[in-house]
Each structure stands twice: as structure tokens, then as C-alpha cells.
Chains A and B, each alone.
Chain A
Amino acid sequence: MTSKHPGRKQTPAQERTSAPEPIPEKALIMSGFGINSEMETKVVLARAGMGADIVHINDLIDGRFDLLDYRLLVFPGGFSYGDDTGAGNAYANRVRNNLWRDVEEFLTGDNLVLGICNGFQILANLGLVPAFDRQYKRDIALMPNRKGVLECRFVTLKPTADNLWTRGIEQLYCPVAHGEGNFFCSRDTLDRIRREKMIAFTYCREDLSSARGEYPWNPNGSLEDIAGITSSDGKVLGLMPHPERAMEFTSLYNWPLLREQMKRVGKPIPSGSMNMQLFQNIVAFFR
């Protein structure tokens, strides 16, 4: 099971030499009720060149912040409501029951929405993905993992569509950490998300060949190895793994081995990781 990249000249981690010029557009990162990855999400966006406010959902409901002041809405990872009544479900209910009009208006603008892990589960329950024909209903489910427990491990992802999110990405290598990430949908839905090239990332082996549903490469039993999909209009991305948790070279699972191998052949040791590209793509969209 050695990590080979046949026919590829790839640096597994890329150096970002200087901090990019920040863009004026801002991101709103949701928090509250057990969401817990808001800080690292803010840090990664800042490194990519986008400022962000972390906003408690109650402060949005109270009108202290206005969603429409922002261009990117992020539902970060976490354990909102302790996964009670289904992961992401209770938080999605809170959004739908209190903020739906703002969210709908936000979606009509030239804005982006990103949901990672628990955020993806919230998007799925809100129907923001796949959102065929801008119909926001539940068409997919992120069911409990096949093994029935939360699992935290690094996975390899490859992009399966060329869109604003995946541009320039050869692979992502980052952790999953979820108990309910087992993607499922009906045959009709699957056909349509395939046809419309909405499957953004799939789980794969280290050599980027298909995981074919096999554990541990596909960590949760997801249909067609699906790790992330976009909305029908491409403006919304839901992704189970956590690229924001592995933004530095030293956060990669295998970095000590890579460092040693690079040192032996005299290659410079990078500081950033390939996972930054996803966030740089978001910033590029607004730039």
C-alpha cells in the first residue's frame, strides 16, 4: 500500500510564498449550538485572502448581522445539537424556521455557500444541495457510517468535475471526522447529479484510482464514493472531509515521511499544503 503517483509529477504539498492581497468581499461563518470548526475555517480563509466574521446564529436571527452584507456563507464543521434527531437536522430546522427568507435572497445573488462536514449535513437537510431547479428540498441523505461509529482518519480525494471549486486541484489529502457521512440518494437523483456534473469530489486510493466503495479509502460507505457535491447552479458546495484542518504541511498525516524523503533528495520543505487550493479558488471567484 505504498503511496505512488504513477505518471505524475506532483508535489504533495505546495508552497505558498507570500500572503495574497486580501479581497474586500467577506465571508460569514455560522456558529453556535455546537458548531466547532469556525476558528480554523476563519484562519484558512484569511490565509487565502478573504476576511470573515464568525456570527452566532442567534445574532443573525436577532438582526445584529445581515447575511446580505456577505458574499460567502460558510456552515463549518461541528456537532450542532449533538447530532440529535440526525446530524445537521436540528440546526437546519433552526435556519429554516428563522432565517429562510434571507437565505433564499442570498442564494439568488452572485454568492457562494460552503458547508463542511456538519455544514454539509446542514446543507443537505436544508436542501441547498442538490437544489435541482432551485427547489430547496431534501434529495440526499448523509446517513450513519457503515461501521456505525465516528471515524477520524486522513482520506485522499480527487475532483470529479471541473468547476469553480475544483479548479487546479489534483487531489486533496485531509481528515474525515464524522459519524454520519454516508452519502445516499435515489437512482434518479444520482443520475441527475452525475449528468449535471455535480459530484465535486470522490474518495479515492492514494494513487488516485477509484476507492470502489472499499474501506478505508471510502471511509463511510458513501454511494459512488461521493465525498462532496455542488448545487445544480454550482454556487453551493457540500463536502464531508475537512481540508481546513490540514492547511499546513505539518498537518498532513504523512508529513514526517514526506519531509524525510524530500530532504534526502534535496527538495525544499514546503510550509503549506495542497488543501489550500480549494480556499484559493473561492477567493479567485470573487477576485
Chain B
Amino acid sequence: MEPQLIKGNEAVVKAALLAGCRAYYGYPITPASEIVEMAALYLPEVGGVFVQAESEVAAINMLYGGASAGVRAMTASSGPGISLMQEGFSYLAGAELPCVIVDMMRGGPGLGSIGPEQGDYFQIVKGGGHGCYRNLVLAPASVQELVDLTMLAFELADRYRNPVVVLADASVGQMMEPVSFPEPRPVPAAPAWAVTGTAATRHNLVNSIHLEPDVLEGHIRALEAKYREAERSEPRWEAWRVDDADIVLVGYGIVGRVLRAVVETARRRGIRAGLLRPITLYPFPTRAIRALADTARAFAVVEMSTGQLVEDVRLALEGSRPVETYGRVGGNIPTVEEVFQLVERTLVGARVPSEVSTNG
């Protein structure tokens, strides 16, 4: 459809509805509140269900209910609300329920601030709930990508019977950019395993308790196999000007776009810089990053946290290349200028021949 200028938090709801989402349960929180407001406006209009829950704890459990009933369902929140939902993430993954959760990350810890941050990486990507489970995690960098990845999230959720998190820093939710929305997709029929209150589904059970050690181990192994499959099939990333790059910048979300500008600046000054922007944070584009160690001399990770993403980059590189790191927090977004200084510092540290920096 014709591009229209739209705010991320509004676009994400429209994308969900175009993807066949017909249930939303949520609790307001800045800077994600426009999402619950848009959902309240549109869900009834499309014949769907909207409930303003009494808490994020209730919201995530309503999500559990909607998903159990075979409906494409979603909730959204931000840092503190997502923390409250962590119990539910574990149950959703344990019971293998497909659903979508949007996290418009704000500053923490505690009440922190309502400015953009990326401090929820650990609690979402590494799993903030109990037990051996993973969320599939998608990290949009623009409003268009927020729309595209939200629609993909519903497909992945169904394919893997697993919660999928759209993890965006709040700036992506708050900003307006042109978006071309795709045509609406048909609402899928309830999956065969769902509990819908019909004769056909009467013997179905949604459950996460398995007291027998061997039974629970078998269940966890089955989940694990699913995650291995996702690790093979689903990693997504954007690689830009990395083929001849001496230094590869790594960052996701809004930071990935700042880094693109940094690469431009560096290239103008004769520094061969490139960008690797993870789009899926789990499964992480481990092999893509590892492969770049064959050509790049150094890596620099930039994030709006004090060092969360960098752990996965270091794991991917297995110590093969030096990794510099730079983070801004508290609602600040790294600027092109300050990241460029990091690039210069990293090159000195990696002893890249000086002729590259005298070209500029």
C-alpha cells in the first residue's frame, strides 16, 4: 500500500492486525502506551478481543489463555512491565504457546526512566524466566522493519509454537517514518492442538507440568531440538560494507542505524569500516559474525546498555579478534561523532596500519 508516515507504536498494532492477530491484552506503560490505546481502538473494529488487564502479570496470562484457545494474540510493554511478565514467558514457552510480545525498551534498573535504552537484552534474549527455554527475538531498526518483523513474528510463533518477542528500543516506537503496509493476511484457523471448547478439541491439553524426570527431560529435549532448528534456519542480520572492512561495527535497533552513518563517515575518511546489524537476537547471527573474523581485524560493539549484546559477539568470535565496546544509557542515544572516536580508538588498539587513517 502507498507509504504513509506513521508512528512506530501505532504501526505495530496495524501490522499485528494485518497478520491476523485478533486478541490483545495489555497494561499501559510509557513509552509503549500508544500500543494499548491503538489496540483498544482497532481490535473491536476487526471483530477481535481487547482487554485492559489489571497488571502485566494478568496480561501475559491472558496471552496464555488466548494462545491456548488458538487465537493469534499479542501484548506489549516496556522494561518494568516486561519484568513482571517473566513468569508468563516461562509458562508460554513451557506449554509451547505461540504468541507475540512487543517490548519497547526504556531505561532501568527499577523505574529508571522512560527514555530509550537497550537494557532488556539479557532478560529477553537470555530468558528472564525460570527453566530451559528461549524466546525468539526480533530487533527492528525502523518503523517499516517494526511492521515487517511484527508480521513475521506471528509466523515464527506458529511455526515454532513459541513466544516471539519484538524487542525495540523506545525510539523505534516513538518515531514516525513512512511505512508501506502489506495486504491483510487471512486469519488462520485454530491449530489442531488448541483448546477451543469443541468436540474436536475436547481431548486437548495445554500444560507445562511433567513431574516424572524422564518425561520432563524428554520435553525439555524437544524444546531444545526446536531451538537448534531455529538456530539453523532463522538467524537474520544486515551486513553492509563488511567485505573489505578492517573494523566491523555491531549494534542492533536504532543503534544499527547510527552505526550506518558512522560507517559512511569512516569511509569518507579512508577507514574501511563495515556494519553487522543483528535482526534476530535469538537465534543470534553467530556464524555470520564468526565468518567476518576471517577478514576484519577488529570489532566494536555499540549498544544502549553497559554491555549485554557484547557478550554474544564475544562468544561468536571466541577470542579470535579484539572487541571494543561502547554504550550509552539512561535515555541517551550514541551519536555518530562519539562512535567515530571509538572506531579510531579500536583501530589503534588493533594496530591497523596507519596509512588508512592518513587518507582522510
Note whether A and B form a binding pair.
Answer: no
B-to-A contact residues, CB < 8 Å? none
A-to-B contact residues, CB < 8 Å? none
